[in-house]
C-alpha cells in the first residue's frame, strides 16, 4: 500500500515538472506513438481553452501589426459603388476584372473564402463563432482597428479550411485558394496609386487614407507570383521574392540588409515552386515540416507567422516586438494545430461501404508496401474485443506509429517545389529566425506524409497532379495526363468512392469543364511522376494486382 502511494506521488511529481514544459523544436526531437497532439503539455482545461482561442485566431487573423491592411469601408464602397469615376476607370485599365465584383462578399467568395457553418458543431467540425454569433462575413476575413481606422486582412482559414460534403473543416486544404491572386492584383496597382485620388473618390477619412498609403508601402516590399494552376499556392515564392525586395530599414539588424534593388532569383524568377496548402492534423506526427521537410527546427506555427508577414511586407522589427508581446497567441494557435484531427469517411458515407475483409487484406498490403515510409496504423478490428464492436467501430484507427524521425525520400515526384526551397534558406540569416531556433534547409526529396485522413486529401502529391488513389497506385506512365477538378459538394457526383478522389472521363461533372479547373500534368511543376520503381513497380512491372489495389484503397479509406 505504501509502495503504491509512493509510486503515485512520483508519477504526479514527474507530470508537474513536465506540465507547461517548452516543446522540443530541434531537429533531434522524436515522434512518439500517436504523435504530439498536446505539444504544450497543458492541463485538460487549458488545452480546451487554447484550442478554442486558436480556432478563433485561425479565422480572424491575430497579427495586428500586419503589413498589408487596406481600409475596409472605402474599399467596400469602391467595389459596391456602380457609378463611374476616374479611379475605377484607371484600375480597370490596369487590372482586368478588378471592378467586376457585385459586392464585397463576391470578392471574398472569388478569393476562395468559405461561409461559416449554419449550425455549429463540436469536435473535428467545430468552428466557434467569433463573439458567439454566426458572422455575416466569410471564414478567413477579419477586421483590424489601427489608429482610428478599420482595415481588413485574411487569416489562416483562407487557405486552410474547406467544405467537405456539406461540412466545414478547419485545418483542411482549401482546394481552390486564391489568396495569391489578391496580392498579384494589388501589387500591380501600387505603381499607379495616387493618395489624393483615392481619398477623393472613396471619401476615405484621413486615417483610412493613411492605412491605404501604408498598405501601398508594404506592398512595395512584396514579391508576387501567380500559381501555375488553381488549387496550388505560391507562398514559398512570395516569401523568398519579398525578401529579395527588402531594404535595410525593413530588417532587424544592418547585417540582414540586401540591395535596394530587388535581387534576382535564378530559380523563382523563372520556374514554379508551387504546392497545395497542407492539412493541419498531420503536424503532430512530424518533427520537420513542409512537404519537403525543409523546416528542420523551430516551431512551425511561429515560423509560418513570420513567413506570412514577410509576404505581407511587414516591418520585421515591429513584427518581432509583437511576437514577443503575444506569445500566448502563438501558443494558442500551436496547441490548436497540433491537436487537430482528420475527418472520418464514416461521417459522410455508411460504414458498410467499407468491406471489412477487403480493408483487412489491404492492411497486409500496406504493411509490406507502404509502412516503411508512411508509418504504421493499428486498427480496432485487431483488438481482443473486436467481435463486440460495431462495423463502424471496427474501422477506427487505435494507434498511429509514425517514423521516429520524419524521413525525406526521393521517389521521383516533381522536383520543382523542393528546388525552389533553396531560395528560402536566406531566412536563416534573419535575427528573428536565429533568436527562435528556426532553421531552413533545402532537401533532396519530399516527406512521405503520415496518411491519417488520406481519403479526404485528394487530389494527391504536393502539386495536385494525381486525381485519385486509383491513379496514384498505377504506373505513372499510365496515369491520367489531365483532368478536371471541382468542389466536394455532392458525395455521389463529385467523388469517386471506389477510386477515392475525382471522378474522371464521362463521370466528370459538366460544370467542372472549364479552363480554370483543367489540370495539365505536362506543365513544368505539374508532373505526376513518382512512386514507381521499388515501390509499386519492379523492373518496370506493377507489383500490385487489381484486387490488391482495391483492398489497399479500402484500408486507406479507414485511416
Beta strand ranges found along 123-201 (DSSP E): 141-146, 149-154, 161-164, 167-170
Query: What per-residue confidence (pLDDT) applies to 189?
Result: 82
Q: At 108, is the secondary structure helix, strand, or coil? A: helix
pTM for the full predicted model: 0.92
Q: What's the pLDDT at 257?
A: 42
Band (pLDDT 50/70/90 cuts) for residue 338 is very high
**Mean pLDDT across 119-145:** 92
Region of 505 (left: φ > 0; alpha: ψ -120 to 50; beta: rest) is: left
CA–CA dist 60, 41 (Å, integer): 25
Percentage of the chain lying above the pLDDT 90 cut: 82
Compute the average pLDDT of residues 102-111. 90
3-class secondary structure, 191: coil
- Tens-place pLDDT, residues 139-196: 999 999 999 999 999 999 999 999 999 999 999 999 999 999 889 988 888 888 889 9
- pLDDT tens digit string along 355-410? 999 999 999 999 999 999 999 999 999 999 999 999 999 999 999 999 999 999 99
Predicted local distance difference test score (pLDDT) of residue 247: 54
Q: Residue 477 class from Cβ within 10 Å (0-12 exposed, 13-18 middle, 19+ buried)? A: exposed
1 has a pLDDT exceeding 60:
no
The bridge status of strand 161-164 relative to strand 482-484 is unpaired
Q: What is the pLDDT of residue 255?
A: 37
Mean pLDDT over each residue of the chain, to the nearest integer: 91
* pLDDT for 13 beyond 80: no
> With 50 as the cut, is the pLDDT of residue 256 above it?
no
pLDDT band at 434 (very low <50, low <70, confident <90, very high): very high
- Band the pLDDT of 135: cuts 50, 70, 90: very high
Peptide bond into 459 cis (omega under 30): yes
Count of CB atoms situated within 10 Å of the CB of 103? 11
Residue among 427, 324, 318, 240 at smallest CA distance from 69: 318
Q: Residue 218 has what pLDDT?
A: 93
Compare 245 and 175 and report the one with higher pLDDT. 175
Domain boundaries, the chain: 45-339, 345-410+451-556
| 3-state SS, residue 149 | strand
Per-residue pLDDT, 252: 37
Is 17's pLDDT higher than 90?
A: no
Encode 47-79: b = buried (16+ Cβ within 10 Å), e = exposed: beebbebbbbbbbbbbbebbbbbbbbbbbbebb
Q: What is the pLDDT of residue 253?
A: 38
Q: Is 472 exposed, middle or buried (0-12, 13-18, 19+ CB in 10 A)?
A: buried
Cβ pair 351, 391 in contact under 8 A: yes
> Is the pLDDT reported for residue 270 higher than 70?
yes
Residue 97 pLDDT level (bands cut at 50, 70, 90): low
From the list 349, 379, 352, the residue with the least C-alpha distance to 366 is: 379
Mean pLDDT of the 426-438 span = 93
pLDDT at 438 over 70: yes
Q: Averaged over 193-220, what is the pLDDT?
A: 93
Of residues 193 and 514, which shows the higher confidence score? Answer: 514
Radius of gyration of the chain (CA): 24
Q: How many helices (H) and strands (E) does the chain have?
A: 19, 12
pLDDT tens, position by position, 459-510: 999 999 999 999 999 999 999 999 999 999 999 999 999 999 999 999 999 9
d(CA 406, CA 345): 26
Q: What is the pLDDT of residue 119?
A: 86
Q: Is the pLDDT of residue 305 over 90?
A: yes
For residue 230, pLDDT beyond 70: yes
Q: In angstroms, what CA-CA distances link 137 with 77, 115, 140, 191? A: 16, 7, 9, 30
Amino acid at each position: 500500500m505504501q509502495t503504491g502511494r509512493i509510486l503515485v506521488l512520483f508519477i504526479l511529481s514527474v507530470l508537474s515538472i513536465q506540465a507547461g514544459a517548452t516543446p522540443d523544436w530541434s531537429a533531434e526531437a522524436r515522434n512518439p506513438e500517436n504523435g504530439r497532439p498536446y505539444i504544450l503539455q497543458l492541463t485538460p482545461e487549458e488545452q480546451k481553452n487554447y484550442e478554442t482561442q486558436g480556432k478563433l485566431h485561425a479565422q480572424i487573423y491575430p497579427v495586428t501589426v500586419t503589413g498589408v491592411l487596406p481600409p475596409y469601408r472605402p474599399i467596400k464602397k469602391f467595389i459596391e459603388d456602380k457609378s463611374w469615376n476616374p479611379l475605377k476607370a484607371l484600375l480597370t485599365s490596369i487590372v482586368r476584372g478588378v471592378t467586376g465584383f457585385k459586392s464585397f462578399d463576391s470578392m471574398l467568395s472569388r478569393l476562395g473564402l468559405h461561409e461559416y457553418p449554419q449550425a455549429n458543431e463540436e469536435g473535428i467540425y467545430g468552428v466557434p463563432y467569433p463573439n458567439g454569433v454566426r458572422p455575416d462575413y466569410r471564414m478567413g476575413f477579419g477586421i483590424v482597428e489601427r489608429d482610428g481606422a478599420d482595415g481588413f486582412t485574411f487569416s489562416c482559414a483562407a487557405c486552410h479550411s474547406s467544405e467537405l460534403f456539406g461540412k466545414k473543416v478547419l485545418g483542411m486544404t482549401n482546394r481552390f485558394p486564391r489568396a495569391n491572386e489578391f496580392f498579384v492584383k494589388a501589387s500591380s496597382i501600387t505603381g499607379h496609386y495616387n493618395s489624393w485620388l483615392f481619398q477623393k473618390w472613396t471619401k476615405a477619412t484621413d486615417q483610412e487614407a493613411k492605412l491605404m498609403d501604408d498598405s501601398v508601402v508594404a506592398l512595395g516590399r512584396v514579391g508576387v507570383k501567380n500559381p501555375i494552376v488553381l488549387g496550388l499556392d505560391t507562398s514559398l515564392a512570395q516569401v523568398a521574392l519579398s525578401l529579395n525586395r527588402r531594404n535595410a530599414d525593413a530588417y532587424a539588424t544592418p547585417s540582414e540588409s540586401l540591395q535596394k534593388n530587388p535581387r534576382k532569383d535564378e530559380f523563382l524568377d523563372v520556374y514554379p515552386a508551387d504546392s497545395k496548402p497542407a492539412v493541419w492534423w498531420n503536424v503532430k506526427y512530424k518533427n520537420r515540416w513542409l512537404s519537403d521537410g525543409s523546416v528542420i527546427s523551430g516551431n512551425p506555427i511561429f515560423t509560418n507567422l513570420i513567413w506570412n508577414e514577410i509576404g505581407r511586407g511587414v516591418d520585421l522589427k515591429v513584427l518581432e516586438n509583437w511576437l514577443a508581446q503575444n506569445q500566448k497567441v502563438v501558443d494558442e494557435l500551436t496547441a490548436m494545430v497540433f491537436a487537430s484531427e482528420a475527418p472520418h469517411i464514416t461521417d459522410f458515407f455508411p460504414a458498410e461501404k467499407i468491406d471489412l475483409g477487403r480493408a483487412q487484406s489491404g492492411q497486409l498490403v500496406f504493411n509490406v508496401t507502404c509502412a516503411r515510409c508512411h508509418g504504421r496504423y493499428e486498427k480496432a478490428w485487431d483488438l481482443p474485443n473486436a467481435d463486440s464492436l460495431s462495423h463502424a467501430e471496427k474501422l477506427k484507427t487505435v494507434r498511429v506509429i509514425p517514423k521516429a524521425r520524419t524521413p525525406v525520400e526521393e521517389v521521383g515526384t516533381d522536383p520543382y517545389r523542393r528546388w525552389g526551397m533553396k531560395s528560402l534558406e536566406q531566412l536563416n540569416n534573419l535575427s528573428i529566425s536565429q533568436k527562435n531556433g528556426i532553421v531552413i534547409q533545402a532537401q533532396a526529396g519530399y516527406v512521405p506524409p503520415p496518411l491519417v485522413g488520406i481519403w479526404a486529401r485528394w487530389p494527391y502529391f504536393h502539386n495536385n497532379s494525381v486525381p485519385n488513389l486509383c491513379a496514384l497506385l498505377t504506373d505513372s506512365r499510365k496515369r491520367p495526363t489531365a483532368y478536371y477538378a471541382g468542389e466536394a459538394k455532392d458525395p455521389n457526383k463529385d467523388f469517386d468512392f471506389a477510386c477515392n478522389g475525382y471522378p474522371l472521363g464521362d463521370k466528370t461533372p459538366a460544370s467542372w469543364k472549364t479552363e480554370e479547373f483543367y489540370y495539365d500534368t505536362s506543365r513544368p511543376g505539374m508532373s505526376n511522376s513518382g512512386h514507381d520503381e521499388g515501390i509499386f513497380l519492379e523492373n518496370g512491372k506493377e507489383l500490385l494486382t487489381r484486387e490488391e489495389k482495391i483492398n489497399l484503397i479500402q484500408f486507406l479509406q479507414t485511416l
